Amino acid sequence: MSKTPKIAFFGSPRLASECLESLLKCFDVTMIVSQPDRKFGRGKKIQPTYVSDAAVKHKVPLHRPEKPGEHLIRALGDHGVDLIVVVAYGSILPRNVINYPENGCLNLHASLLPKYRGPSPVQSALLNGETKTGVTVQVMKYEMDTGDILAAKEIHVVTEWNSEDLMEKIIALAPAFLVETITGYFSGKINAVKQIEDEATYCFKIRKRDGLIDWREGAEILCRRIKAYYSWPAAFSYLDGKMLKIYSAHKHSLKSGLPAKPGQVLDVSKDDGIIVQTGRGKLGIRELQLESKKRMNHEDFTRGFKDIKGKVLKSGPGN
């Protein structure tokens, strides 16, 4: 195996750019591939990806195809690429691209494979209440996340973490772990191990409507949903016909013998937040944002919405 690989790096978000920065210090990255510039944020301004910004900064040839195709094969050849490294690129690579490099195609995936194969492993780990997750470097195959495993690193999931917290932890450890794994791969010190298919689980692309809260679900499940969708799309409900995004909440032990509907606001507490009835247990909301208003804690919110007690949070603006 070549001692000094010429790497093509495929990636887009911040996790990928942090990994790229580490690879640029240790290896010869001869080309970079990222998603095209897209409209992003409230102002819908066209913005480059984090990886595109890094490519420009380091003056590495950058490719931003709408769809990976034959032109990429030509570019890989022009740049002498013999290893591809993929971190959260955002599109499925064609078989001929994956199979092109002499030394293979490696991918860093944000779960402990074979668990959570697919595009949303961070959110899915939180949705399912996992106490541990991690990152895996695999030798890519065309079938998504089924490649042989080179290395995996475990992360203990702290109970209070949301998706942003977990991603920050992954970003903190992934770059050095990826460099270490590639180095071991080329030195022959790491041997790939096949995944155990019987242990495989899958996750799917998150849609905006996945954040909609069904108050008939239990408080524990709703807490997980709020943490998982913290970054996007945010868990949301409706209050007096306006969208209400919920960013922080916890299970609450309020004892109440009074009958209440799922979604009904039972009480407001300085320490515990806005207490809401669920299908099983109570939820205390501590951080939220009403449509067209700024995000705030529950104390500031209730100062401007003094009659919230008794209101019912609903699943649609007209319900």
| pLDDT tens digits, one per residue of 150-167 | 999 999 999 999 999 999
Q: Is residue 73 included in any domain, yes or no?
A: yes
Residue 259 has pLDDT above 90, yes or no: no
Task: Report pLDDT for 1.
Answer: 62
Domain ranges, residue 79: 6-199
Average pLDDT of the residues of the chain = 94
Number of domains in the chain: 2
- Tell me the CA distances in angstroms from 19 to 24, 39, 256, 262, one per residue in order: 9, 24, 51, 44
Asked whether the beta carbons of 268 and 309 are under 8 A apart, the reply is: yes
Residues 195 and 217 in one domain: no
User: Which tens digits make up the pLDDT trace of 191-240?
Assistant: 999 999 999 999 999 999 999 999 999 999 999 999 999 999 999 999 99
Mark whether 175 and 242 lie in a shared domain.
Answer: no
pLDDT surpassing 60 at residue 50:
yes
Average pLDDT, integer, range 97-106: 96
Does residue 91 carry a pLDDT above 60?
Answer: yes
* Helix, strand or coil, per DSSP, at residue 71: helix
Please report whether residue 309 resides in a domain: no
pTM beyond 0.75, yes or no: yes
Q: What is residue 253's predicted lDDT score, i.e. its pLDDT?
A: 79
Predicted local confidence at residue 257, as pLDDT:
64
Residue 35 Cα distances to 20, 31, 67, 89, 92, angstroms: 15, 14, 9, 7, 12
| Residue 138 in domain | yes
- Report d(CA 127, CA 118) in Å as an integer: 15
Decide which of 180, 199, 218 is a domain's last residue: 199
Q: Is residue 317 part of a domain?
A: no
* pLDDT at residue 300 is higher than 80: yes
Which segments within the chain are labelled E, that is strand?
A: 6-11, 28-33, 38-40, 45-47, 62-63, 83-87, 105-109, 132-139, 148-156, 235-239, 242-252, 265-269, 273-277, 282-290, 296-297
Find the helix or strand (DSSP H, E) in which 189 lies: none
Domain boundary (199, 225, 258) is at: 199
Residue 41 reports pLDDT greater than 70: no
Average pLDDT over residues 277-291: 96
Residues 93 and 221 in one domain: no
Q: Give the Cα separation of 73 and 26 in Å (integer).
A: 24
Taking alpha carbons only, the member of 68, 156, 145 closest to residue 114 is 145
pLDDT at 254: 67
pLDDT reported for residue 92 = 92
CATH number of the domain within which 57 lies: 3.40.50.170
Percent of the chain's residues with pLDDT above 90: 89
Domain match, 84 and 108 both = yes
Residues 6+ apart with CB under 8 A from 22: 175, 176, 178, 179
